[in-house]
């Protein structure tokens, strides 16, 4: 049978949206005549990103609970009931063969209604500290695909399959040499290059750090490829020089990775999985402003295996210079970190997740 119907939900952030789209793409590759429907939260970025990827999406009136008492919190029960009713209607009309959730608030009502209608459900959890929606859905899910060990503290052990996170393999199959890559960014092939990644929008605290440490980088003889994010490019482009390249966005991540000797990055699940495949020494500066502080937990999982260095935002002023200079001056440490992070790569994650979905179809 080739006319399968798949319903997917994941959103709020790119970290939930991208895995859902990657899974859909692999399902579409295997089942070209299949039908797909995404369900997201109205006014969230999935309502734009999913159609751009070529898929239909329907929106639910749902949002998260704020940490302080607000009018939005008082509206939450009404939104939840409305979303459950709408999700039940969507499931009844679409009649999916499998429902797939990758996290985010909209996936809660959608998968709850799919499960109650007898539809097999698959969860995909990107982080080492499970999100609240997936934790609530875990009891009724058929399979839970994870990227880290030790996830039985959140989910029923018998449902867990370690697959890894979907990866943009086209970005990290590094074919170019460092010479070609540094030439692309107009950098010096003979100098050590530090790649700074703060995400597409940018990370304020990391940008503040790099601005403060530019003299230190110069003293160490380092050149900087600084992706500051589109929100901050106007503020920081004045620092552009022969040894400092300031970019709002990196269009050629494969070349950026090839040019880098050391990478400084946030620790979102997608970034971590991608950097495992790259296999270069990484200093993670996790964002403390995310749900359940999951970026810190992601970074800790690598630090525990001697696969990365982690610096908390509160410790940057005291520890950054010593940590980076020690890393840059220790070839052995660089090789150890690169070797160990590479061991954690799971490049076939998307295929393995879809393998598990296929088992439910049969």
Can you say which residues are annotated as belonging to the binding site? Answer: 13-15, 127, 168, 200, 295
Question: Which residue ranges make up the annotated binding site for UDP-N-acetyl-alpha-D-glucosamine?
Answer: 13-15, 127, 168, 200, 295
How many separate helices (H) and strands (E) can be counted in the chain?
15, 13
SS3 content of the chain, % helix, strand, coil (to 5): 50, 15, 35
Q: Phi/psi zone of residue 108: left (φ > 0), alpha (ψ -120 to 50 degrees), beta?
A: alpha
Query: What per-residue string of b and e applies to 218-245 under the rule 16 or more CB within 10 Å gives b?
Result: eeeebbbbbbbbebbbeebeeeeeebbb
DSSP string of 124-148? Answer: EE-SSS--HHHHHHGGG-SEEEESS
Distance (Å, whole) CA 101 – CA 320 = 38
Radius of gyration of the CA atoms of the chain, in A: 21
Alpha-carbon span 85 to 79, nearest angstrom: 10
Q: What is the CA angle 343-344-347, rounded to 5?
A: 100
Backbone angles phi, psi at 226, to 5 degrees: -115, 105
Q: How far is CA 267 from CA 126, 135, 309, in A?
A: 12, 21, 11
Number of C-beta neighbours around residue 293 at 10 A: 13
């Amino acid at each position: 049978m080739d006319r399968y119907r798949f319903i997917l939900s994941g959103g709020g952030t790119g970290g939930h949206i991208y895995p859902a789209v990657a899974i859909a793409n692999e399902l579409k590759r295997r089942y070209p005549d299949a039908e797909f429907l995404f369900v997201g939260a109205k006014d969230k970025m999935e309502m734009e990103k999913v159609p751009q990827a070529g898929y239909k999406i329907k929106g639910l009136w749902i949002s998260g609970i704020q940490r302080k008492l607000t009018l939005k919190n008082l509206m939450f029960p009404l939104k939840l009931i409305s979303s459950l009713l709408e999700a039940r209607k969507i499931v009844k009309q679409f009649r999916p063969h499998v429902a797939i959730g990758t996290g985010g608030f909209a996936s809660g009502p959608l998968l709850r209604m799919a499960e109650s209608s007898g539809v097999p459900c698959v969860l995909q959890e990107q982080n080492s500290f499970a999100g609240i929606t997936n934790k609530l859905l875990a009891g009724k899910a058929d399979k839970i695909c994870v990227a880290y060990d030790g996830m039985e503290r959140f989910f029923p052990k018998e449902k867990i399959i370690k697959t890894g996170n979907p990866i943009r393999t086209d970005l990290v199959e590094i074919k170019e040499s460092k010479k070609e890559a540094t030439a692309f960014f107009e950098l010096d092939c003979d100098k050590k290059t530090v790649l700074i990644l703060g995400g597409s929008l940018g990370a304020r605290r990391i940008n503040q750090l790099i601005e403060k440490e530019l003299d230190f980088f110069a003293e160490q003889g380092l050149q900087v490829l600084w992706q500051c994010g589109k929100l901050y490019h106007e503020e920081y482009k004045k620092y552009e020089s022969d040894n400092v390249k300031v970019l709002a966005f990196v269009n050629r991540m494969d070349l950026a990775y090839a040019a880098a000797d050391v990478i400084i990055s946030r620790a979102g699940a997608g970034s971590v999985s991608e950097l495992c495949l790259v296999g270069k020494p990484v200093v993670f500066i996790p964002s403390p402003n995310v749900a359940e502080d999951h970026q810190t937990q992601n970074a800790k999982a690598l630090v525990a295996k001697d696969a990365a260095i982690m610096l908390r935002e509160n410790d940057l002023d005291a520890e950054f210079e010593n940590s980076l200079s020690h890393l840059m001056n220790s070839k052995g440490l660089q090789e150890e970190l690169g070797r160990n992070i590479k061991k954690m790569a799971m490049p076939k994650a998307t295929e393995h997740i879809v393998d598990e979905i296929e088992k439910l179809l049969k």
